[in-house]
Amino acid sequence: MQVPAAFEYAKATSVDQTLELLAQWGEDARLIAGGHSLIPMMKLRLARPTALIDINDVAELSYIRVEGAELRIGALTRHAELLASPLVEEHYRIFGDAEKVIADPLVRNRGTVGGSLCQADPAEDLSAAFAAVDASAVIQGARGSRTVPLSEFHVGPYETVVEPGELLTEVRVPIRPGGGSAYYKVERRVGDWAVAAAGAAVWLDQDVIKKVGIGLAAVGAEHFRAAEAEAFLTGEPATEASFAEAGRIAAESCNPVADQRGPVDYKRHLAGELTVRALRAATARARGQEA
Ligand SMILES: Cc1cc2nc3c(=O)[nH]c(=O)nc-3n(C[C@H](O)[C@H](O)[C@H](O)COP(=O)(O)OP(=O)(O)OC[C@H]3O[C@@H](n4cnc5c(N)ncnc54)[C@H](O)[C@@H]3O)c2cc1C
């Protein structure tokens, strides 16, 4: 049986109390949200926090709402809540697509948006979906809060810009009417992490791509984003030929590693093909066609 090393434990009920506990216990303390990533790592002794600060009762971090022209999602929002939200479905179908293929209902009932982004697993689906829609992260520390574009949030595998003494409180997504978005993933079996995945968000002007975001998971894309493919597509007609070229660019510019989920060439092929499928579906949705 695998057992974590000894640690202190406290349950916080507010953001202020969480920050006080982080300051009190220092940089070896960790927040615990759903615990689906942290607890297994502790059991394997890959993580050995000296203290756990449980944020599951910090109700002020659990919400999905529209404020001004933004969709705002609290860090403690569960995967299942994101999946069930009519607001999210109305504005960005990419999240429903992604959530349906993240793990299983048990994990989705407990795992959180904040925990997923902060875990920063290279195969994490929500990071790719949020990257495609130009989200930003609100990070709070003792000296106030700062907002970081998601394109700067991840600094490497399992690493983010959240510093010791800080927590992620919210993710903000600009609402841009008239677009469409979609997410596609290949997994070895239902509920598994991605072999590769791609999401796209598209806005059209008379069938020319006015704005596009493309997110990639599990293929080593810089900040989960296919920036070169986005740059190519902007201003191009929304055609199969444009999507194919964007897929080719996305496949070429990502950096997958071979592992038990597949060799590099296969993952690169999937990155291209899934980019094409996500672009096709997002465009159909932007045109108001069912996809
Ligand atoms: C069997 C299984 C299958 C899975 N499959 C997938 C999958 O297909 N796709 C996918 O994307 N994910 C998958 N996951 C991961 C799942 O989405 C987890 O919910 C996620 O990794 C972590 O969320 P959590 O709330 O459990 O975080 P925790 O495990 O509680 O925390 C993870 C890390 O984030 C930190 N943290 C948590 N909240 C905050 C915050 N607000 N501010 C700062 N730091 C914070 C913690 O200190 C810790 O370092 C899977 C997990 C399991 C167990």
| Model pLDDT, residue 3 | 87
Sequence ranges of the domains in the chain: 8-54, 59-174, 179-286
Q: State mean pLDDT over 170-192.
A: 96
Whether residue 290 has pLDDT greater than 80: no
Q: How many percent of the chain have pLDDT more than 70?
A: 99
The CATH architecture assigned to 179-286 reads 2-Layer Sandwich (3.30)
Give 111 Cα–ligand 1 centroid separation in angstroms.
Answer: 6
Which of 169-173, 189-193, 197-201, 232-236 shows the lowest mean pLDDT across its residues?
Answer: 189-193
Give 88 Cα–ligand 1 centroid separation in angstroms.
Answer: 20
| Model pLDDT, residue 28 | 94
Res. 279 pLDDT band, cuts 50 70 90: very high
Fold match between domain 8-54 and domain 179-286: no
Give 119 Cα–ligand 1 centroid separation in angstroms.
Answer: 6
Q: Which of 50, 107, 170 to mutate to test the pocket of ligand 1 (most atoms within 8 A of CB)?
A: 107
| Model pLDDT, residue 281 | 98
From the CB of 42, is ligand 1 less than 6 Å away? no
Q: Give which of 110, 139, 115, 138 is closest to 127, Cα–Cα.
A: 115
Q: State mean pLDDT over 268-290.
A: 96
pLDDT per residue as tens digits for the range 228-251: 999 999 999 999 999 999 999 999
pLDDT per residue as tens digits for the range 146-179: 999 999 999 999 999 999 999 999 999 999 999 9
The CATH architecture assigned to 59-174 reads 2-Layer Sandwich (3.30)
| Model pLDDT, residue 1 | 63
pLDDT per residue as tens digits for the range 64-117: 999 999 999 999 999 999 999 999 999 999 999 999 999 999 999 999 999 999
From the CB of 114, is ligand 1 less than 6 Å away? yes
Residue 38 CA: nearest ligand 1 atom is: 29
Residue 194 CA: nearest ligand 1 atom is: 8
Give 75 Cα–ligand 1 centroid separation in angstroms.
Answer: 11
Res. 5 pLDDT band, cuts 50 70 90: confident
The CATH architecture assigned to 8-54 reads 2-Layer Sandwich (3.30)
Q: How many percent of the chain have pLDDT more than 90?
A: 96
